């Protein structure tokens, strides 16, 4: 009995060489693996890239409304002024006489200073003519700003001749006009005022009292010279 041969021992048979008769004779059929198509290298498949997911844009944040500004605090109310202190109760009324006595300051007796009398000038003249010189100098010393300096003009405003009576204390007791300036009564009045304002005159210690005569030469400027001390005329 013939040993069955294996497919490996037989020559390779192509499909085209197999006839139906061979099939019928139950010839061995090649394995399906041998009939399969040759291996084709499989290309690696790249992993699927996931599509980017588009996220929705976030809505812009709306800033929260600012809190309202705090209302200004009201100014503090001024503190009430302190109530005035109650006036002291009036003292019991005093009698008017006692009140006046209390308000009147006490009188202080102050001795007034004793004014020393001005020394009375003295004249040693022994006759009216000599006293006339002392009297003229006295008037010049009393009214220096009224004396005309220098020579008088040829024409003066007025000429007056007056008698003056002086007592033992140098006071004027009387004025007599021997020649009054009738063309200028104002000058006559002013001469009398000057004669009296010059007192007291030097006291005539040797004569007791004296009466002498003086001539007044009056310039239109209001200044004068006495004939006893005149500097003359132009």
Question: Is a pLDDT exceeding 50 seen at residue 8?
Answer: no
CA–CA gap between residue 215 and residue 230 (Å, rounded): 10
Residue 27 falls within a domain, yes or no? no
Quick check: is 32 in a domain? Answer: no
Structural domain includes residue 18 = no
The answer to the question of residue 49 being in a domain is no
Strand pairing class (210-218; 158-166)? antiparallel
Domain annotation covers residue 212: yes
Is 50 exceeded by the pLDDT of residue 213? Answer: yes
CA dist list (Å): 169 to 9, 26, 85, 136, 200: 207, 211, 74, 17, 7
Q: Mapped to the 3 state alphabet, what secondary structure does 35-69 carry? A: HCCCCCCCCCCCCCCCCCCCCCCCCCCCCCCCCCC
- Please check whether residue 152 lies inside any domain of the structure: yes
Would you give the end-to-end CA distance of the chain in angstroms? 219
The pair of structure tokens assigned to 69 is 């500004």
The total number of residues written for the chain in this structure:
234
The reply to whether 60 falls in a domain is no
12 CB-side CA count, 13 A = 4
> Smallest Cα–Cα separation from 205: which of 131, 142, 137, 119?
131
Average pLDDT over residues 81-107: 69
CATH number at residue 143: 3.30.1150
Q: Which two tokens stand for residue 79?
A: 């503190």
Q: Which domain holds residue 203?
A: 123-226
> Does residue 203 lie within any of the structural domains?
yes
Average pLDDT estimate for 11-21: 50
The reply to whether omega before 85 is within 30° of 0 (cis) is no
Average pLDDT over residues 99-120: 69
Q: Phi then psi for 136, rounded to 5 degrees?
A: -65, -45
Nearest to 198 by CA among 149, 144, 153: 144
Please give the model's pTM, rounded to 2 decimal places: 0.51
Instruction: Label residue 180 exposed, middle or buried (CB < 10 Å: 0-12, 13-18, 19+).
Output: middle
pLDDT band at 199 (very low <50, low <70, confident <90, very high): very high
When pLDDT is averaged across residues 128-157 and rounded to a whole number, the result is: 96
Q: What is the mean pLDDT of residues 187-214?
A: 96
100-122 exposure pattern, b = at least 16 Cβ within 10 A, e = fewer: eeeeeeeeeeeeeeeeeeeeeee
Residue with tokens 């033992």, as numbered in its chain: 168
Number of domains in the chain: 1
Flag whether pLDDT at 85 surpasses 70: yes
Q: Which two tokens stand for residue 17?
A: 């060489």
What are the φ and ψ backbone dihedral angles of 190, each rounded to 5 degrees? -70, -35
């Amino acid at each position: 009995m013939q040993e069955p041969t294996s497919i490996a021992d037989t020559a390779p048979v192509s499909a085209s060489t197999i006839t139906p008769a061979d099939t019928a004779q139950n010839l061995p059929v090649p394995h399906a693996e041998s009939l399969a198509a040759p291996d084709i290298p499989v290309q690696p498949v790249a992993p699927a890239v996931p599509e980017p997911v588009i996220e929705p844009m976030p809505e812009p944040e709306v800033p929260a409304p600012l809190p309202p500004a705090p209302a200004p605090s009201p100014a503090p109310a001024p503190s009430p002024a302190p109530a005035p202190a109650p006036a002291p109760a009036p003292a019991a009324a005093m009698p008017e006489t006692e009140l006046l006595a209390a308000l009147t300051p006490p009188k202080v007796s102050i001795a007034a200073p004793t004014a020393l009398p001005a020394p009375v000038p003295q004249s040693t003249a022994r006759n009216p003519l000599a006293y006339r010189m002392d009297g003229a100098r006295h008037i010049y010393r009393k009214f220096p700003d009224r004396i005309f300096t220098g020579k008088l003009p040829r024409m003066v405003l007025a000429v007056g001749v007056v008698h003056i009576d002086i007592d033992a204390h140098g006071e004027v007791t009387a004025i007599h006009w021997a020649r009054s300036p009738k063309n200028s009564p104002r000058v006559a009045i002013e001469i009398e005022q000057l004669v009296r304002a010059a007192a007291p005159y030097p006291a005539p210690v040797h004569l007791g009292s004296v009466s002498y005569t003086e001539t007044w030469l009056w310039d239109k400027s209001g200044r004068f010279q006495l004939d006893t001390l005149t500097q003359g005329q132009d």
